Chain A
């Protein structure tokens, strides 16, 4: 469903953001984003897992074992200190760009 696809940069920002309130497993991340966006944004496996791998590589999250709500051993992704820092910069960057875009939209 292309209309709900988002650029991978934005996806990473969202993942980092939903992880700020605590570690989550992959499916929960997708669920949380879906729910928080009032069911507008749907994160597909095909974009979620590559993005997670990328974040793992960057060291913004770590993966640890935990027990899922269905009582299954799964990996939870936890935001690292570096990840929080990254989230902050990305958020302020996003705000700046967003403000600029809004300014154009208002005046043009």
Chain B
């Protein structure tokens, strides 16, 4: 104990102790000299031996080596800068991508006890419908009867027309149970949030505003509390304002403009619901046991209410599905994240290979220095330590710069991210990120520092250095490893470029892939009718006059309305029934017994260029009072009438029930890929808007102009001319919608492409380094060749051939590596298999071009060699 204390005290007072020791010895020497004795050893050596007792010598040696390393790095700033920059890029790219992984997969979600939060979905297992929103009745019962949840909250999204004294505005609204706020840790900035008693019937007319709505519509006035606002004609009292920058998401629902209480009034409807349920598991309850408990509860519920029974009493497999909230938020992104992390990892390896190469080259030019050190008695261990410390300095600086690069880059990755959840989760520079950057730096120390150091100090080399430092090291010890490094970094870049190329090709194909409709030159907008429209007749007449007026606009070719815009929304998948048939269980590769239901106007198919395959399209005669009709798509026909004519058959959404008429199938249209070109088309059922109107509709205008957006003003004035109370919002071209849905793919593709470009750049630097070094090594040989009649062209060809040889070997290895890792990419590819000749050809050409480009300067230098100078050089 006290010994370690003394040892420490020595460490902190080393200078004083050292001085005292020196004094003692000086005195000793004086006394000895008086007595005429003169045989002293080296005082310095003696002092060092004495100091050794305290056990701190290694610090001194380390500091010595460190000072020396810093001096060496400062002496060759070009080398240092290149190495640090390369490592920083590699470490930075990795850490930035890891920051996303950290936010998405590792860090807790920004909610209290988030690891216990789950999303509760209803499902019809037999039919294969997995994410069903719940009816109010179900939620109330589950909340009351379950034994596994601490709490359950429900959320429903809606759009309302918010009217104040000054203006009216369409607001995205979440209707929620009061406990949601406490459960998700959402605290108001002003007033109160909603509470459970607000959900009681008769108490629902209170509203909490978002900061944005409060600022824009109420001038950030805190006297807003207690004031009344109108939502869809009903009066609500403002009770609170949420804080600025609040972000909220439980999967499909995002931060709203306003929050109102969900009405929990008893509702006999047990078949269709709109609620998303989020719940927190009790402490100690596992997901599996909760799932089991809820399964039991669901069976009781099913028996009691005959939920979603089929036309002949078949069991659709009603149940509940608990999904961890993180899975719900980021589950789809996992693969893409790992793909990016893998690509970034390759970049780091390539960067390491490059720096290792630099180190070897640098080591060669220091051959003489090493030789002197060895002859002065430095052991190989000491040299290795010196080189390692130099590499550690590089890795540490590279790591620091890389961390700074990552900090900036991760912000950009977040900013450009097409995923809303990225904004919810954010990125932070936390200890995990630091640890990751540190590990990346350590990896680079191993590969870029230790490896070349060991190569340089292999047995025999030190002797070589002593005798003919330049040649022996250059040709025997240096060349082979350096070529191997360049080949492997070329191979890694090839693999990366190959993956990027495949993604790029996929993306191009995906963009051009037929969707079953034509989104070009089309303008879309959403219409919200005010609550003054109470009857179907009123709604229908509004739409009829709107369609007529818009069609009269000169540049409009055709116009239609629909309740859903394909691609923008993936559509609701609800079970349907066919007259005279039981529900069929959905198996693998089978068309499921659920369909996306869309109410459209007669011109919908003509406007989107959806092809009629059989029967007829809708007409203006399919209106209230005539026979209810349906149009179905080819997928539905393929699944349920593979060899029959479906025209005239009867179908309806859900299970047959009193008061809901069968629809007669009058036509079959081509498939529309609502979920994007890379997903299989789902069954579709179109009904006539005039028979099933809706207060919320999308308007579609096919125009004759390549710039449909210039019709927006005219469209607005036409709507206002019929009824100024009708809201028109979310106006955009269909091409824009399409581009947004491609966002994730574009992001992935662009990121991987930038990585591939970076890899190419690094590989080019590597090739350049090796070739130009070899030219300088072989200058004598070149001079000889020239003296014996070789032309400058011969010499540059010689050099280029060497570069081509290296890159061809790298190319072959890289292609093999790429092929071996094809499973990683399979899910991200569209329209091509992994063996894609155009991409392969492009990769080969790119790599060859890059390597020739990299070898061009050294080749030119070789061609310009003066034989006399080179031959006299040594």
Q: Are B20 and A53 in contact (CB under 8 A)?
A: no
Which of B24, B32, B46, B51 is the one whose CB lies under 8 Å from A25?
B24
Q: How many residues of B contact A (CB 8 A)?
A: 27
B196 close to A (CB within 8 Å)? no
Closest to A26 in B: B24
Query: Would you call B27 and A72 a contact (CB within 8 A)?
Result: yes
A53 touches B27 (CB 8 A): no
| Interchain CB contact under 8 A, A59 and B3 | yes
Q: Which of A46, A50, A68, A75 has a CB less than 8 Å from the CB of B53?
A: A50
- Cross-chain contact B2 with A49 (CB below 8 angstroms): no
**B54 and A49 contacting across the interface, CB-CB below 8 Å:** no
Contact of B31 among A53, A56, A57, A70 (CB under 8 A): A70
Q: How many A-B Cβ pairs are below 8 Å?
A: 65
A75 contacts B24, C-beta separation under 8 Å: yes
Task: With CB as the reference atom, state the residue of chain B lying closest to A30.
Answer: B28
Count of A residues near B, CB < 8 Å? 22
A residues in contact with B6, CB < 8 Å = 56-57, 59
Q: Which of B25, B28, B34, B53 contacts A54 (CB 8 A)?
A: B53
Query: Which residues of A54-91 have CB atoms within 8 Å of chain B's CB atoms?
Result: 54, 56-59, 63, 68, 70, 72, 74-75
**When the two chains form their complex, are residues A49 and B23 in contact, meaning their CB atoms are under 8 A apart?**
no
A94 CB-CB contact with B under 8 Å: no
Would you give the shortest CB distance from B203 to chain A, in whole angstroms? 79
Residue B545 lies at the interface, judged by CB distance under 8 Å to chain A: no
Most buried by B among A45, A46, A57, A75: A45
Determine whether the beta carbon of A63 is less than 8 Å from that of B20: yes
The answer to whether B46 touches A45, judged by C-beta atoms less than 8 angstroms apart, is yes
Which label, helix, strand, loop or mixed, suits the secondary structure of the A interface? helix
The answer on a CB contact under 8 Å between B27 and A74 is yes
A48 vs B24: C-alpha distance when bound (angstroms): 11
Is the Cβ of B21 less than 8 Å from the Cβ of A53? Answer: yes
What is the distance, in angstroms, from A47's C-beta to the closest C-beta of chain B? 9
Known pairs A46-B41, A57-B3, A57-B7; A75 contacts B23 (CB<8 A): yes
CA distance A75 to B3 in the complex (A): 21
- Give the contacts of B278-292 with A (CB-CB under 8 A): none
For the complex, give the distance between the alpha carbons of A54 and B21 in Å.
Answer: 12
**Most chain B CB atoms below 10 A, which of A49, A68, A75:** A49
CB-contacts of B1-34 with A (<8 A): 2-3, 6-7, 10, 20-21, 23-25, 27-32, 34
Q: Bound state CA distance, A72 and B10, in angstroms? A: 25
* Cα(A27)–Cα(B28), bound, Å: 5
A residues near B49, Cβ cutoff 8 Å: 46, 49-50
Which residues of the other chain, B, contact A49 by a CB distance below 8 angstroms?
21, 24-25, 46-47, 49-50
* Chain B residues close to A by CB (< 8 Å): 2-3, 6-7, 10, 20-21, 23-25, 27-32, 34, 40-41, 46-47, 49-54
Q: Which residues of A contact B (CB under 8 A)?
A: 25-27, 30, 45-46, 48-50, 52-54, 56-59, 63, 68, 70, 72, 74-75
What are some 9 contacts across the A-B interface (CB < 8 A)? A49-B21, A49-B24, A50-B50, A54-B53, A59-B3, A59-B6, A74-B23, A74-B27, A75-B24
